Structure 1
Amino acid sequence: MLEVGQSTWRHLTLAQRARLLGRLHATVSASAEEWADIAATSKELEPGHPLRGEEWLGGPYAVLTALEAYRTSVRALAQGESPLARVRTDAAPGGRLCARVFPLTAIDGLLLSGYSGEVWFEPGVTEAEARRNAGLGQLTPTTPAGVGVVLGAGNVSAIPVLDVLYELMASNRVVLLKVNPTQDALLPVFERALAPLIEPGFVRIVRGAGDVGAYLTTHRSISHVHITGATPTFDAIVWGPGANGERRRRANRPLLKKPITAELGGVSPIIIVPGEWSTADLRFHAEHVVTMRLQNSGHNCIAGQIVLLSADWPQREAFLDALRVAYEAAPRRSAWYPRSDEKLQGAASDYPDASWCADGTRALIEIGAGDDATALETTEYFAPILGVVSLPGTGQEFLDAAVAHANEKLTGTLGANLLIDPAAEAALGDGFERAIADLHYGAIAINSWTAFGFLIPTLTWGGFPGSTLQNVVSGMGVVHNALLLDRVERSLTRGPFRPLPRSVSALAGPGRFSVLPKPSWFVTSRTGATVSEGFTRFRMDGNWARLMGTLVQAFRA
């Protein structure tokens, strides 16, 4: 059926594809409430739990915004215009081109006030080249690319659907999606939500364990493999399992004979740049760090795992005190992902002096002088485990040391986070942007969290370029990328250091003004579930009256 669908797909005009994306928006909207409910329940979040909003944002919201963005790009191409035509570009450090890809609409600027997103191209890419090549597979829509298999992630429900959309839009590949066993309960929802793609044979969805995935990757009808998961799974697919697979890897004799792309995880840093922070700043960003670790119970490929802190910051102890309080106080929930118990036990074994918080369900590991941070820096725990590593210096000296430490000591290149107050950033000047350029991660979040970049469809998502089959690090290739940009190096998000009302100070000095109080995705937001659902429903139906009620709830966070 997919081979027939491949022929049909290549005969669709760009205008027809845009209308198809509109139909998908309707079917995803119709499935959204059930989608979010099943996803939350499968993660042991019962009705009324304050964290159920995570499943609205990480499920239907992410897909709806992606569909809107892809449809805008395809419509532009259908009219003979580049998806980048109305996007402002300027220079970035190191001979790079920067495209300011968020916000592009007034509603984005309202719902995510004070936040912005940008894409940095590889050094040497010109503005003319970037605009000319924007569109990828949709520039040659009649050229077939075969059938791809997507091995779906099991932690965030939007990921497999977003990966399917990217295969179709960026590569003109029809898709066989194998859902992860953790999402089997969502299979009927996915089938209804993606019915406009399934009925004509553009997508097929199957379920099964690892043996099914292994069979599909080697099937003669499959021309391309995409996986979101962990490095060991990638290596088993490419080289084969066990000792034989390792021998093939060393000899560069891959078992897989077809192209593969992958989004894999890593150990994500949270760099705290020293500055003069108020008590409210310390408390807010302690909750920010806790959110980076505990959202989805830590089962995120870009969950912040290591706080890089200045040993010479006068407010170091005050920040750590605020972090300990916030880590203990965050809402309780279970570590639901398979093998989480093993990860928690491994951390307990590696660091017997760790502090166990929230009735022993989450660990805070503070590396002291003479302690070995190797396990913390090289193991993606994928569980509620947060570490703190101290480095010498302040100002530019500390920032450069933290960047070097992240690049050289931490496993992975998927996402890095930096928190810096506006005065400190202004004092660093060009040195700050140079340090960002030196930070080799595919997603960088400044006063935001890299998951924010995951949710913005016009940004790219993937590890830093340069990975190989033998050393895949955090993956190969990118996804999301709804502007269909070519030769992208990384994506950045920037947010307000202070929420409303303290963001008002940015109107008369450095920093970013925001009309938002505590963001709805903070695990400590009192109204996060209500606001996240409300934002999703607005993406579904554009009901401004109901949105006003949601914004009122946002101010009660």
Structure 2
Amino acid sequence: MTTTESASPSAAADRTTLDDTERAALDAAIDELAAGERRWADTSLAARAALLARTHATIAANAERWATTAGRIKGLAPDSPLMGEEWISGPYPALTGFAQLSRSLQALAERRSPLAGARFGTAPGGRTTVRVLPHSAHEAILLHGFRAEVWLRPGVAASTARSHAGLAQHHPSRTGGVGLVLGAGNITSIAPLDVASELVAHNRVALLKLNPTLDDLEPVLRAALAPLVEAGVLRIVRGGADAGAYLTGHPGIAHVHITGSSVTHDAIVWGPGDEGRARKAAGTPVLDKDITSELGGVAPVVVVPGDWSADDLRYQAEHVATMRLHNGGYNCIAGQVVIVSRDWPLKDAFLAALRDALDRAPARPAWYPGSAARLASAAASYPGATRLGPDGGRLLVDLTGNAGGHGPDAAAPERAAVERTEYFAPVLGVVELPGTGQRFLDAAVAHANDELAGTLGANVVVAPNDRRALGAGFDRAIADLRYGTIGVNAWTGVGYLTATAPWGAYPGHTLADIQSGRGVVHNALLLDATERTVVTGPFRPFPRSVARGELALFPKPPWFVTARSAATTGRRLTAFAARPGWLAMPSVFAAAFRA
């Protein structure tokens, strides 16, 4: 892998100097957290569990305001089905994450492992797996047909995983100082969940600096996370790159966690501009403290060729379009390069369905800063790309041979841009490789590993009969795919939404070659020595799933950009996460089956 490029400007550029009042306010927040850290060290595990449970309640009380504020920031009409995204990626994962962390702390308080009763298995390469989805009877029904397993690093036994689960909470009095969370500007649950990881997984109190894009959400998050603020373990501040620079260099900050781009990461670690590049080459960082990060990348979508029906082609084309267009395309986990087989008889039919799905997806504002410039950069690199969508604001870069490109033999400079640049805009590339079956799958895995920037998430689409035909070869291919989350017939975004699954890059990156970052967040079971999460979903929605022999009762997912009832489903899912119960399920199903 080579270093991830970015079409976006560095967040560390154009810094200004904070005035004395602004510096004093930030200093005061850090001083207050230092006092809060001492109280946190004296707080019992049971009291910590209760604090997170109270926070869960305040998140629930502010969920409506949270989702509507996020929708307003992103320019969504209040009655748009796309509002479902703001429920499902905002208060919903925050609720499930805080609830499970509270349960894990309570288990530790009672001298039980958070993995008590967990199902373990094995994966190629001497790996132990832990089933994390479904994690409850409720999840088994609500997400019927979906499952997720965490693969531990080779050689880690189930007994070790069980005894080590709990991370820093095995020694709660050993706190780790003040952690700075540089919040993301795209998905509104990222920052609160990062705060929860700092507090529980690492036993650090947290200073959250919001991304300026989400400044309007600050009063909502302050209310939703009020118990943490009142306990002195969280402070929330606003500010731009100048505030971020002041805080990362502050002696009162022990650790930095960032969600963003590799360019922003490198500006923090090595410094901006030519001086920063020189420092990076010399291995002399300007940051004198540890940093963890989640930095996105160019996510592949490997389409394993098979004998698909017309309905399969349309559904999976919508699936891939969702991977790119969810949240307007402004996701670190957005699918960006589709890898298809040159020898697949249905390749042309699939690509036609994909163009149609991209073209027909609902219109939405290009709300994230810099989107137009990034789209223009892609268009300049690929003047023959197809503009799609109501306003022509979506770009399909088809590099397959029959589309006028050069397929797998394309010159490196021609393919480099879409495969090396995380566009963070509605740009989707398509490349082709020869072969079918195992030959194609192995080649696609090698291409994703060696040619695409980043290691955050990879997607594989495969019909059940083709997966069975591949047998152990399919499992070996997944083991060879070096990504932190792998979705098989399920967008890797489902891994983000799964509270019990770790979320982050494939392990092993260095500060000099950061790729998609270091460390994991979420991980509400507090698992140690994790390597990746593998999420599996149904190839077809209900009822076609059952009619074709899949045991899956899940309809079209509410996170699909074409789901007509997404807003209602998202609202009801969030209400269920606030107060789980069997009686609340029928209303969720009633909405979901109208998608």
- For Structure 1 versus Structure 2, the TM-score category normalised by the shorter chain is over 0.9
* Equivalent residue, structure 1, for 2:328: 297
Measure the CA separation in 2 of the matches of 1:276 and 1:433. 21
- Tell me which moved more, 438-447 or 74-83: 74-83
* 1:334 and 1:361 in contact (8 A); partners too: no
State how far apart, in whole Å, the 2-side matches of 1:542 and 1:435 are.
38
Distance, in Å, in 2 between the alignment partners of 1:173 and 1:380 is 31
2:133 aligned to which of 69, 80, 102: 102
Q: Whole-Å Cα distance in 2 between the matches of residues 432 and 476 of structure 1?
A: 27
Offset, 1:505 = 3.8
CA apart distance, 1:515: 1.4
Residue 550 (structure 1) shift: 2.7
Which residue pairs with 1:149 in the alignment? 180
- Is the contact between residue 576 and residue 585 of structure 2 (CA under 8 Å) also seen in structure 1? yes
Aligned partners of 1:335 and 1:384 also within 8 Å: no
**In 2, Cα distance between equivalents of 1:544 and 1:74:** 25
Matches within 5 A, 1:249-398: 249-358=280-389, 359-367=391-399, 368-369=405-406, 370=410, 372-398=414-440
2:257 to 226, 230, 239: 226
Whole-angstrom CA distance in 1 between matches of 2:480 and 2:548: 27
Find the residue that maps to 1:373 and give its secondary structure: helix
> What is the aligned partner in structure 1 of residue 44 from structure 2?
13
Decide whether the 8 Å contact of 2:301 with 2:338 is kept in 1: yes
The whole-number CA distance in structure 1 between the counterparts of 2:588 and 2:79 is: 17
1:415-434 correspondence runs (5 A): 415-434=457-476
CA distance in 2 between partners of 1:544 and 1:122 (Å): 37
Q: Which amino acid aligns with 1:137?
A: A
Correspondence 1:495-514 to 2 at 5 A = 495-505=537-547, 507=549, 512-514=550-552
Q: Does the Cα contact within 8 Å between 2:438 and 2:473 map onto a contact in 1?
A: yes
Aligned mate of 1:113, from 138, 144, 152: 144
Please name the residue that 1:537 is paired with.
Answer: 575
What displacement does 1:178 show?
Answer: 0.1
Q: How does 1:516-527 map to 2 (within 5 A)?
A: 516-527=554-565
Letter in 1 for 2:554: L
Per the TM alignment, residue 497 of structure 1 is displaced from its structure 2 partner at its CA by 0.6
Looking at structure 2, the residues matched to 126 and 107 of structure 1 have their Cα atoms a distance apart, in angstroms, of: 28
Does 2:244 align with 1:213?
yes
1:466 corresponds to which of 508, 517, 520: 508
| Secondary structure of residue in 2 paired with 1:222 | coil
- Residue identity (%): 55
Q: Please give the secondary structure, in 2, of the residue aligned with 1:171.
A: coil
Task: State the AA in 2 paired with 1:109.
Answer: A
Q: Secondary structure at the match of 2:81?
A: coil
Shift of 1:378: 0.3
Helix, strand or coil: the match of 2:525?
coil
Q: Distance in 2 between matches of 1:174 and 1:307?
A: 41
Distance (Å, rounded) in 2 between the aligned partners of 1:489 and 1:366 = 33
> Helix, strand or coil for the counterpart of 2:339?
strand
Residue 569 (structure 2) pairs with residue 493 (structure 1): no
Residue 108 of structure 2, aligned match among 62, 70, 77: 77
Q: Could you say which structure has the greater relative contact order, defined with CA pairs below 8 angstroms and 6 or more residues apart?
A: 2
Deviation per CA, 1:313-338: give whole Å up to 9, x if none.
01101111111111111001122111
The range that moved more, 540-549 or 39-48, is: 540-549
- Report what 1:91 is aligned to: 122
Q: How big is the shift at 1:549?
A: 2.3
Q: How many residues align?
A: 553
Say whether the 8 Å CA contact 2:304–2:340 is kept in structure 1.
yes
Task: State the Cα distance separating 1:68 from its structure 2 match.
Answer: 1.4
Q: Which moved more, 1:542-551 or 1:336-345?
A: 542-551
Q: Is the 8 A contact 2:138 2:582 kept in 1?
A: no
1:38 to 61, 66, 69: 69
The one-letter code sitting in structure 2 at the alignment partner of 1:277 is: W
Shift in Å at residue 541 of structure 1? 2.5
Deviation per CA, 1:245-288: give whole Å up to 9, x if none.
Answer: 11111111110001100000100000000111111110100000
- Which blocks of at least 5 consecutive residues in structure 1 are unaligned? none
Give the letter for the 1:532 counterpart. G
Summarize the alignment of residues 129-168 of structure 1 with structure 2, pairs less than 5 Å apart: 129-168=160-199
Counterpart CA distance in 2 for 1:188 and 1:252 is 41
Distance 2:492 2:224 in 1: 27
CA RMSD of aligned residues (A): 1.0
Deviations for 1:134-158, whole angstroms, at most 9, x for unmatched residues? 1001111111211110000000000
CA contact (8 A) 2:128 2:153 kept: yes
Distance (Å, rounded) in 1 between the aligned partners of 2:105 and 2:467: 38
Name the SS of the counterpart of 1:168 in structure 2: helix
Corresponding position of 2:81: 50
Q: Deviations over 1:163-198 (max 9, x none)?
A: 000000001100000000011000000110111000
The CA deviation at 1:69 is 1.0
